[in-house]
Amino acid sequence: MNQVDEVFQHENIYTILRAIAELHRNLDAALKRKARTQLWPAGRNGMIEALTAIAWFFEKLEGFGAYANVLNEFGSALADLDRGSVHAIFVAKARKGGKGKPPDNTDVACARARVAIAVSCMMRAGRTKQNIANEIAMKHHGLRRITKSPTSDKPLSASIVSWYNEFNQGKGKNQEARDLYRIFQHRLAGVNRRGQLSPASLNDIAQQQLHLAAHFVPLTKAEALALENFVEVKRVPERPKGVGRRRGV
């Protein structure tokens, strides 16, 4: 019998249900607060409240105190940032050579990957890369926030073309962003082979990706699950050379 089974055996079921209902209310309030304050550091408060809510949930269940302690510690470390103190878990790993700008955060890298996905979708609909980049730059000025130098004179359209080329060639420096682009292309190609995507549908997907890019959304729950499954498939060992398939297999 595992730990979860033991909890449900010994805990009063009504206590557990009340704890779940309270967790739902608190998480809902915390995430709504985060949605209202996307910009940091104000957006941190919603994340701290969410961690606290989950910690309280575990505190109400016998045998899960260690889980609550870890979550409370992480929440306190986040709160320390508002006090001007940086906990050890947030100290960045030293880079080789220690020179140059640090790499982009994952949310920024994934936002660029989403823009590249949008360009790819529109190109599949028959448009040219430069024409697409010009249109995106004209309609989505906010994407300048994810450029390396938001105040630079470099045209946003040039950055968009650069992001597409980088991810399309598998050269993105952020692993999660590269995987996001790769899994999306893999799934898109599969659907397209079945002839299920019209130019209008491809444009809708592109607009959705641009919306997520503008809101710095690294991974949705569905994408994270698809990415996890895709990576597992890619890691299946290849058949050794010289070993053929048996007939009927």
pLDDT of residue 199: 87
**pLDDT value at 192 more than 80:** no
Tell me the pTM: 0.64
User: Minimal CA–CA distance to 116: which of 188, 35, 224?
Assistant: 188
Token representation of residue 103: 């790499």
Q: 233 versus 20: which is more confidently predicted? A: 20
User: Minimal CA–CA distance to 26: which of 62, 69, 71, 73?
Assistant: 71
pLDDT of residue 31: 67
Residue 48 to residue 81: CA distance in whole angstroms: 11
CB neighbourhood size of 208 (10 A): 14
Per-residue model confidence as pLDDT tens digits over 195-221:
678 888 899 999 999 998 988 766 666
Domain ranges of the chain: 11-89, 106-234
Per-residue model confidence as pLDDT tens digits over 60-72:
777 788 888 888 8
Residue type, 20: I
Per-residue model confidence as pLDDT tens digits over 146-180:
888 877 888 999 999 999 999 999 988 888 899 99
Q: 31 versus 191: which is more confidently predicted? A: 191
Q: Report residue 226's pLDDT band, with 50, 70 and 90 as the boundaries.
A: low
**pLDDT value at 225 more than 70:** no
**pLDDT value at 227 more than 70:** no
pLDDT of residue 11: 54
Contacts 24+ apart (CB under 8 A), 241-244: none
Distance of CA 197 to the CA centre of its chain: 25
Highest mean pLDDT pick, 75-89, 98-112, 117-131, 170-184: 117-131
Q: Report residue 246's pLDDT band, with 50, 70 and 90 as the boundaries.
A: very low
